[in-house]
Amino acid sequence: AQSVTQPDIHITVSEGASLELRCNYSYGATPYLFWYVQSPGQGLQLLLKYFSGDTLVQGIKGFEAEFKRSQSSFNLRKPSVHWSDAAEYFCAVGATSGTYKYIFGTGTRLKVLA
């Protein structure tokens, strides 16, 4: 069955520190992979996506993610966190051929200490 696991429910980092949010997926075919961010009371904003090609993808707000097929992972990273990055982050997976049932993880809530 298709699934997305985000093992960390909460993460706290100090401003300026590096960040890595974990995402593991289970999918029968080559997936589309996404990271979304959700601020309180807001909808989800796309940070970055992986469809094919280079396994290291760059996104907005200085985020990047690396697709590792052998580990079924798509971890999100940022070298230096800003206080405004505090939010909830969702990893999602979809099929490469015309499906629409994106499956979301349960999210990781990021807290940034000043």
Partner 1 sequence: GAGVSQSPRYKVAKRGQDVALRCDPISGHVSLFWYQQALGQGPEFLTYFQNEAQLDKSGLPSDRFFAERPEGSVSTLKIQRTQQEDSAVYLCASSLDLNSPLHFGNGTRLTVT
d(CA 21, CA 109) in angstroms, rounded, equals 10
Q: Characterize 26-43 residue by residue with b for buried, 16 or more Cβ atoms within 10 angstroms of its Cβ, and e for exposed.
A: ebeeebbbbbbbeeeeee
Nearest distance in Å: CB 23, partner 1: 11
For partner 1, the binding residue among 17, 68, 106, 113 (CB under 8 A) is 106
Contact region for partner 1 (CB under 8 A) — 18-26, 37-45, 64-72, 74-82?
37-45
Q: Check if the beta carbon of residue 62 is closer than 8 Å to that of residue 79.
A: yes
Nearest distance in Å: CB 31, partner 1: 13
Given the structure tokens 């590792």, which residue do they identify?
Answer: 68
Q: Which is nearer to partner 1, 1 or 114 (CB)?
A: 1
d(CA 19, CA 40) in angstroms, rounded, equals 20
Site string for partner 1, 38-57 (x = CB under 8 A): ---xxxxxx--x-x------
Tell me which amino acid residue 16 is.
G
Q: Which is nearer to partner 1, 22 or 49 (CB)?
A: 49
Q: Which is nearer to partner 1, 42 or 55 (CB)?
A: 42
Residue 62, token pair as written in the block: 């200085």
- Contact residues toward partner 1 (CB under 8 A) are 4, 34, 36, 41-46, 49, 51, 90, 92, 98-107
